[in-house]
Amino acid sequence: MFVQIQHRGKTYKADLDKPVDISIPLHAGAHQLNAWNVQPVKIDPVRIGDWVGEVKDGASVNFRNVTFNPHGNGTHTECVGHISKENFSINRCLKKFFFIAELITVLPDEQTDGDMVITSAHIKGCLEDKVNPEALVIRTVSNSPAKKEMHYSDTNPPYLSPDAMHYIVSLGIEHLLIDLPSVDKEYDGGKVACHRIFWDYPANPQTEKTITELIYVPNEVLDGSYLLNLQIAGLENDATPSKPILYRLIESR
């Protein structure tokens, strides 16, 4: 099923029958994604006396408790509440769910200290001839499917430089998605500079803007323009597990 979309003077169409799921789901058991030294996801049946909430153990329904950390166990979307003293909730901040997005692929630069960093030059090189999108999806290379079960804790993964984030903000990007644990350096002394730049916090908190981290974009998905459906769980928290879906956009003639 095709839908037509108007965006900044151009008309596009998207095939809703061809979704591209770029989320990494939460799951228990082996091969779990992990960041920030959080505990693994746990999915356990409720136990009340002799009753166990598992059909295979004789119950009429499966009835389980789920324990997870949204920031460290899988794809998640966060709002300014992640860094604010005020109690902003992603469930209240995100009111729209469809956006024009641009998918780009970058190779972070190695710095003199060994850090791998995404700079403003990377972003400019990919977006200089594009109509400014509402959302930006960043895929980093190398891009093995092993990212979906990576243990990132204490590995100093790549991150965005402040100048890159300033440039992203200057483009009017409202929703930033990336396949890394954070837009900031893993241990930066608590500065979280790129988070603060993106949300203009504390000067002028941008409550409508979101950052989605720990996505995975398969290699066969081409860079370009997409319709993004940013799906979140209805959780009153600074962040929630999310399921971003891309639909390739084709410009109508």
Local confidence band at 5 (pLDDT 50, 70, 90 cut-offs): confident
Q: Say if residue 163's pLDDT is above 90.
A: yes
Would you say residue 219 lies in a domain? Answer: yes
Identify the pLDDT of residue 7: 81
Rounded Cα gap, residues 155 and 166, in angstroms: 25
Q: Say if residue 252's pLDDT is above 90.
A: no
Q: In the predicted model, what is the mean pLDDT of residues 68-91? A: 98
- Total domains in the fold of the chain: 1
What percentage of the chain has pLDDT greater than the value 70? 99
Local confidence band at 62 (pLDDT 50, 70, 90 cut-offs): very high
Q: Say if residue 2's pLDDT is above 90.
A: no
Would you say residue 81 lies in a domain? Answer: yes
Q: What are the strands, taking DSSP E only, across 134-194?
A: 135-140, 159-160, 175-178
Local confidence band at 44 (pLDDT 50, 70, 90 cut-offs): very high
Summarised one tens digit per residue, pLDDT across range 203-241 is 999 999 999 999 999 999 999 999 999 999 999 999 999
Q: Say if residue 68's pLDDT is above 90.
A: yes
Q: Say if residue 129's pLDDT is above 90.
A: no
CATH assignment at residue 108: 3.50.30.50
Of the two residues 130 and 5, the one the predictor is more confident about is 5
Identify the pLDDT of residue 1: 86
Q: Say if residue 249's pLDDT is above 90.
A: yes
Closest to 43 in 3D by CA, of 80, 88, 74, 5: 74
Would you say residue 10 lies in a domain? Answer: yes
Would you say residue 177 lies in a domain? Answer: yes
Question: For the purposes of burial, counting CB atoms within 10 Å of the CB of 9, is it exposed (0-12), middle (13-18) or buried (19 or more)?
Answer: exposed
Q: Say if residue 46's pLDDT is above 80.
A: yes
Identify the pLDDT of residue 10: 83
Rounded Cα gap, residues 228 and 97, in angstroms: 8
Local confidence band at 8 (pLDDT 50, 70, 90 cut-offs): confident
Would you say residue 40 lies in a domain? Answer: no
Contact (CB, 8 A) for 168 and 51? no
**Could you list the residue range(s) of the whole structural domain that residue 188 is in?**
2-25+69-251
Local confidence band at 6 (pLDDT 50, 70, 90 cut-offs): confident
Summarised one tens digit per residue, pLDDT across range 182-194 is 999 999 999 999 9
What predicted TM-score, i.e. pTM, was given to this entire model? Answer: 0.96
What phi, psi does 58 have (nearest 5°)?
A: 110, -5
Identify the pLDDT of residue 251: 82
Would you say residue 214 lies in a domain? Answer: yes
Would you say residue 36 lies in a domain? Answer: no
Identify the pLDDT of residue 223: 97
Identify the pLDDT of residue 211: 99
Would you say residue 53 lies in a domain? Answer: no
Q: Say if residue 66's pLDDT is above 80.
A: yes
